[in-house]
């Protein structure tokens, strides 16, 4: 019996260490504050990362918005509501309203998806390698809530040469008044 006792103690210790580590990991991601640029305020602010409640999102988002942002979906080309939007303003994450792209950086790429050559700040988008569909692409997501937005390609216009190919359904548009005439 004594032999087994030592064995059980080791297993118990291993479990405690394992569970403790998992707990601290969870706290690390939830409590993390990141620097995000706020277009309205014209400056960076610390924002807490959000872990979205998928049950709630199913009720607040449309089926298409949920599929694209939470299940890495892609809307069919030329179907997005914001594809031809030429108004001045800011494109935000449809889930958490983080500022993502300015109308200044939007251009017609001819691909059928809203395209931007840069985000409002590098900090305002998250990226990771995506090897699905037998391709090697760079996936782009909201750094605050993790929602999938689209992909980045290297065939964009100068000066960045990047094309942020974004699903219209992952975005919401906040129009801004143009003050150019008064200046
Ligand atoms: Zn978001």
Per-residue confidence at 177, pLDDT binned at 50, 70, 90? confident
Q: Compute how many other C-beta atoms are within 10 angstroms of the C-beta atom of residue 85.
A: 16
Give the distance (Å) from ligand 1 centre to CA of residue 148: 9
Distance, in Å, from the CA atom of 47 to the CA atom of 37, rounded to the nearest integer, reads 10
44 assigned to some structural domain: no
108 assigned to some structural domain: yes
> Residue 11 has what pLDDT?
57
pLDDT in tens, 104-139: 999 999 999 999 999 999 999 999 999 988 999 999
What is the residue range of 171's domain?
51-176
Give the distance (Å) from ligand 1 centre to CA of residue 141: 8
Per-residue confidence at 182, pLDDT binned at 50, 70, 90? very low
Is 165 among the catalytic positions? yes
> Residue 133 has what pLDDT?
87
Give the distance (Å) from ligand 1 centre to CA of residue 147: 5
For 127, the enclosing helix (H) or strand (E) is strand 126-130
pLDDT in tens, 88-106: 999 999 999 999 999 999 9
Count of domains in the chain? 1
Distance, in Å, from the CA atom of 110 to the CA atom of 99, rounded to the nearest integer, reads 24
Entry pTM: 0.81
pLDDT in tens, 11-56: 565 555 555 544 444 444 666 999 999 999 999 999 999 999 999 9
CATH code of the domain in which 165 resides? 2.170.150.20
Per-residue pLDDT for 180 more than 70? no
What distances in angstroms separate CA 102 from CA 10, 39, 62, 133, 150, one per listed residue? 56, 9, 24, 30, 16
Backbone φ and ψ of 100, nearest 5°:
-115, -55
Q: To which residue do tokens 């200046």 refer?
A: 183
62 assigned to some structural domain: yes
């Amino acid at each position: 019996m004594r032999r087994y006792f030592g064995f059980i103690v080791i297993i118990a210790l291993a479990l405690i260490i394992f569970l403790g580590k998992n707990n601290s990991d969870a706290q690390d991601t939830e409590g993390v504050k990141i620097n995000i640029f706020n277009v309205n305020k014209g400056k960076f602010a610390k924002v807490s990362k959000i872990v979205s409640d998928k049950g709630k999102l199913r009720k607040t988002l449309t089926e298409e918005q949920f599929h694209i942002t939470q299940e890495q979906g892609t809307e069919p080309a030329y179907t997005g509501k914001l594809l031809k939007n030429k108004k001045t303003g800011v494109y935000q994450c449809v889930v958490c309203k983080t500022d993502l792209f300015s109308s200044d950086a939007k251009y017609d790429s001819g691909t059928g998806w809203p395209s931007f050559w840069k985000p409002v700040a590098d900090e305002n988008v998250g990226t990771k390698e995506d090897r699905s569909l037998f391709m090697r692409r760079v996936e782009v997501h909201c750094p605050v809530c993790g929602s999938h937005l689209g992909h980045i390609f290297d065939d964009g216009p100068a000066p960045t040469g990047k094309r942020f190919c974004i699903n219209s359904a992952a975005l919401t548009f906040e129009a801004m008044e143009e003050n150019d005439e008064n200046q």
